[in-house]
């Protein structure tokens, strides 16, 4: 039987004989070994790299939000970096509402066994928008959609940026923002009233209903309602 | 890192690559003249209906969607042309709730997201929180945590395999495997008192030490469990129906799997030997001897083989862990996070103050952030925690492996038959509690 795929082994780009990484112990709070990619980024992108921190052994590079896609693309493509794996895309909003919202990318280079945290700061009062890394990592699709759903951060260049965990007609805002109350904005009674008033059929999007002529099979009144853009729960 | 040997020689033909670069593998059948030929798709029965597409809604109440996943499928005959997944029916806002809880109070929430791997989640959370507090745990606690992680890995894989069998139509292995799951639950119940929602760890240690005689019970289980595995192996691995229903489905190449961010058995089945336990080790995993099974074609059958072998490797790790389990305390000697014993708290002033501060305010980590990934049964799981120096995290982010794995489902099912969607979906090993959080 032929093997159509070449097995990929992590750590293959490291110099010397195959090494066994060890469990980290006594990790210092600040300082320690800096990921060499941080220095390489500084040399390559200059002032677009705003700050490099090492916290609990992990290197964080704060970059200019406009250059995120260039930087990630370089990290992914360059033979001396090879960040081939996107672990996570998320955001952090602080309790101090003056502090900027941080968008966080967790990147992993399997050939070099490196981990890098990229951050872009979104100052309050500026539009919450960063470039999407979807053209580089397909895995960013749902991660960016979730980040948009929870924080309202728009990822420019994402092909299908819509809500994913909350329903598409959800109108209360962005749940993980600090100004969003834990119990939600609407009272339980209001939430119940909205749920009962919803049209279950209209949960199909127009795109879905256009498939397979299903739209033509719908009753006349429902077609009219959907054509006029009516949504559930409104 | 070892590659698994296929214990089975299934006659397969790799007829080439499909337009997406995935290998097309079809089982061989014996033709009338005795030669082996690849199975051919039957011609369309009603040619006049070609080009007519149908929309069907799979889930959210369909039993084979493992929870409340809804797939909107566009079908051309029986072939899936497009798949639009919808999730979020189980969204509970765990991450939001975590911002209003102290670190130890979050541990019960970690049980409830990936509820098949609750103990593993407890350990993953504790590891992250301990990095945030700057604590190194004791020797005994490390080994106990390895035991709990590997037990929950077996538990999760056993449930996955059992339900996968049911989805494809094999009922018997389901019963055998759930019997073993029951045995693990009995072990957990003796240890922490709960079966499903264990909440076994605390920041800096464990909620409870193992009771007397527990390791003997574990060893009895470890002696018996491989026999069940062998039985299931004999029933499934070479079974013609099983092979026919799984081979060549939903294949992902190594590059695609990496690009889609797949992790765990899904990634390893595609030929990428990335295992967090080997590459970014924690809990001294580098000192245990175990192999990482790696597949070669990234199809449903390879995922089955990889997970099956992982259970055997987990048994190996557990045997080593039981042998090396040292004596000593399970909790660190750190009054910031570990409550003093009751006798001291009521008799010594110092201990009473620590007790009071911990209960009333909660432990305060320094300002900082960390992300400690672990190898959960579903893949790379980690908790990203950000602290601003208060007893409650500013942000508690779950990196959900099955969420990212599921995001590739459209890519995997398109071009396959409707009945194969069930098999492909089952092979991802999704837990909706973790996906929707």
Measured distance CA(A35)–CA(B75) in Å, rounded: 48
CB contact under 8 A, B136 and A93: no
Each residue's pLDDT tens digit, B297-336 = 888 998 999 999 999 999 999 999 999 999 989 888 888 8
Q: Which superfamily, per CATH, for B94-436?
A: Cytochrome-c3 Hydrogenase, chain B (1.10.645.10)
> Residues of B with CB below 8 A from A29's CB?
134, 366, 368
The Cα B425–Cα B436 span in angstroms is 16
Coil/strand/helix, residue B259? helix
Q: Give how far Cα B386 sits from Cα of A97, A201, A228, B120, B330, Å.
A: 15, 41, 45, 21, 26
Residue contact A5–B285, C-beta within 8 A = no
Q: Is B424:B408 a contact under the CB 8 Å cutoff?
A: no
How much is the pLDDT for B25? 53
Across the interface, do A29 and B366 touch by the CB < 8 Å criterion? yes
Least Cα separation, residue B224 to chain A (angstroms): 32
Identify the band that residue B42 occupies on the pLDDT scale cut at 50, 70 and 90: low
- A110/B272 CB distance under 8 A: yes
- CB pairs below 8 Å between A and B: how many? 189
Contact A4 B253 (CB under 8 A): yes
Contacts of B388 in chain A (CB under 8 A): 94-96
Most confident of A29-33, B76-80, B191-195: B191-195
Give the pLDDT confidence score for residue A234 in this predicted structure: 34
pLDDT at site B2:
44
Q: How far apart are the C-alpha atoms of A151 and B32, rounded to whole Å?
A: 63
| Per-residue model confidence (pLDDT) at position B9 | 41
Rounded to whole angstroms, the Cα distance separating B362 from B344 reads: 19
Average pLDDT of chain B?
85
Homologous superfamily (CATH) of A36-167 is NADH:ubiquinone oxidoreductase Nqo5 subunit (3.30.460.80)
Q: What is the model's pLDDT at position B317?
A: 93
Q: What share of chain B is helix, strand, coil (3-state, %, to 5)?
A: 45, 15, 40
- pLDDT at residue B44, as a whole number: 59
How many CA within 13 A on the CB side of residue B137?
Answer: 28
Instruction: Read off the pLDDT of each residue in B395-405 and give the average, rounded to a whole number.
Output: 92
**b/e per residue B393-405 (b: at least 16 CB within 10 A):** bbbbbbbbbbbbb
Q: Where are the domains of chain A?
A: 36-167, 186-234
State how far residue B391 is from chain A, nearest Cα, in angstroms. 13
Q: What are the residue boundaries of the structural domains of chain B, listed by start?
A: 94-436
Residue A87 DSSP class: E
Q: Where are the alpha helices (DSSP H) in A16-155?
A: 36-45, 68-77, 140-151
Express each pLDDT in B367-395 by its tens digit: 999 999 999 999 999 899 999 989 999 99
Candidate from A44-53, B10-19, B42-51, B315-324 with smallest mean pLDDT: B10-19
- Between chains, do A94 and B132 touch, taking CB under 8 Å as contact? no
Residue A134: other Cβ atoms inside 10 A: 22
- Residue B34: predicted pLDDT: 66
Minimal Cβ distance to A3: which of B286, B296, B407: B296
Q: What is the per-residue pLDDT across B334-375, written as a single tens digit (0 to 9) for each?
A: 888 888 888 888 888 888 888 888 888 888 999 999 999 999
Q: How far away is chain B from the Cα of A228, in angstroms, using its nearest Cα?
A: 22
Q: Phi and psi at residue B419, in whole multiples of 5°? A: -65, -25
Residue B110 phi/psi, 5° resolution?
-65, -25
Phi then psi for residue A8, to 5 deg, are -105, 130
Q: Nearest CA of chain B to the CA of A47: how many Å?
A: 24
Task: Say yes or no for a CB contact (<8 Å) between A166 and B91.
Answer: yes
Q: What is the 3-state secondary structure (H, E, C) of B60-108?
A: CCCHHHCCCCEEEEEEECCEEEEEEEECCCCCCCHHHHHCCCCHHHHHH
Taking the complete model, does pTM exceed 0.95, yes or no?
no
Given A6, A56, A92, which is nearest B395 (Cβ)? A92
Name residues of chain A where pLDDT drops below 70: 1-7, 199-219, 222-223, 225-234
The token pair at B138 is 């004791």
Rounded distance, CA A228 to CA B15, Å? 50
The nearest CA of chain A is from the CA of B314 a distance in Å of 19
CA-to-CA separations, B201 to B112, B179, B338, B427, in angstroms, rounded = 14, 26, 12, 30
- What pLDDT sits at residue B12? 47
* A113-147 per-position pLDDT tens digit: 889 999 999 998 888 999 999 999 988 989 999 99
Confidence of residue B15 (pLDDT cuts 50, 70, 90): low
């Amino acid at each position: 039987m032929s093997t159509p795929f070449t097995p990929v082994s992590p750590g293959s780009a490291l110099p010397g004989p195959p090494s066994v990484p060890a469990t980290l112990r006594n990790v210092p709070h600040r300082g320690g070994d800096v990921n060499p990619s941080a220095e390489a980024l500084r040399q390559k992108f200059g002032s677009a790299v705003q700050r490099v921190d090492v916290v609990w052994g992990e290197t964080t590079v704060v970059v200019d939000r406009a250059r995120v896609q260039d930087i990630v693309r370089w990290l992914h493509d360059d033979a001396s970096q090879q960040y081939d794996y996107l672990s996570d895309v998320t955001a952090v909003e602080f309790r101090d509402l003056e502090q900027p919202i941080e968008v966080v990318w967790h990147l992993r280079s399997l050939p070099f066994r490196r981990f890098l945290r990229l951050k872009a700061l979104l100052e309050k009062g500026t539009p919450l928008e960063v470039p999407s890394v979807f053209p580089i990592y397909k895995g960013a699709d749902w991660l960016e959609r979730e980040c948009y759903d929870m924080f309202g951060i728009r990822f420019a260049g994402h092909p299908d940026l819509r809500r994913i965990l909350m329903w598409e007609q959800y109108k209360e805002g962005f749940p993980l923002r600090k100004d969003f109350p834990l119990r939600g904005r609407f009272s339980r009674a209001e939430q119940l009233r909205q749920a009962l008033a919803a049209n279950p059929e209209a949960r199909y999007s127009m795109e879905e209903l256009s498939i397979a002529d299903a739209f033509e099979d719908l009753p006349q009144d429902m077609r009219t309602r959907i054509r006029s853009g009516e949504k559930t729960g409104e | 890192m070892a590659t698994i040997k296929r214990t089975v020689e299934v006659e397969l033909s790799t007829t080439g690559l499909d337009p997406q670069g995935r290998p097309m593998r079809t089982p061989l059948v014996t033709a009338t003249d005795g030669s082996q030929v690849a199975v051919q798709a039957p011609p369309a029965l009603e040619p006049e209906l070609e080009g007519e597409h149908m929309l069907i809604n799979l889930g959210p109440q369909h039993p084979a969607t493992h929870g409340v996943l809804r797939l909107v499928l566009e079908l051309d005959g029986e072939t899936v042309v497009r798949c639009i997944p919808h999730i979020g029916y189980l969204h509970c806002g765990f991450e939001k709730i975590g911002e209003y809880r102290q670190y130890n109070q979050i541990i019960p929430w970690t049980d409830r997201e990936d509820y098949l791997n609750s103990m593993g989640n407890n350990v993953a959370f504790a590891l992250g929180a301990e990095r945030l507090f700057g604590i190194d745990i004791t020797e005994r606690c490390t080994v106990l945590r390895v035991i709990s992680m590997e037990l929950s890995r077996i538990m999760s894989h056993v449930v996955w395999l059992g339900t996968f069998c049911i989805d494809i139509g094999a009922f018997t292995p389901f019963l055998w495997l759930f019997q073993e799951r029951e045995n693990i639950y009995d072990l957990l119940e003796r240890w922490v008192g709960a079966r499903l929602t264990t909440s076994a760890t605390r920041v800096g240690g464990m909620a409870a030490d193992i009771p007397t005689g527990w390791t003997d019970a574990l060893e009895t289980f470890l002696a018996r469990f491989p026999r069940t595995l062998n039985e299931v192996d004999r029933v499934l691995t070479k079974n013609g129906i099983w092979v026919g229903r799984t081979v060549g489905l939903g294949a992902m190449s190594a590059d695609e799997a990496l690009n889609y961010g797949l992790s765990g058995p899904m990634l390893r089945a595609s030929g990428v030997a990335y295992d967090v336990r080997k590459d970014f080790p924690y809990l001294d995993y580098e000192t245990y001897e175990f192999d990482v099974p790696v597949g070669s074609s990234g199809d449903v059958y390879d995922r089955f083989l990889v997970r099956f072998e992982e259970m055997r490797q987990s048994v190996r790790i557990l045997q080593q862990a039981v042998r090396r389990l040292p004596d000593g305390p399970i909790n660190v000697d750190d009054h910031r996070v570990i409550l003093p014993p009751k006798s001291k708290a009521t008799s010594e002033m110092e201990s009473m103050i620590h007790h009071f501060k911990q209960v009333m305010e909660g432990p305060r980590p320094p300002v900082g952030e960390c992300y400690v990934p672990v190898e959960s049964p579903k893949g790379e799981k980690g908790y990203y925690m950000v602290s601003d120096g208060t007893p409650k995290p500013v942000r508690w982010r779950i990196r959900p492996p099955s969420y990212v794995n599921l995001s590739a489902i459209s890519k995997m099912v398109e071009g396959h038959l409707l009945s194969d969607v069930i098999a492909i979906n089952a092979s991802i090993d999704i837990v909706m509690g973790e996906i929707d959080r």
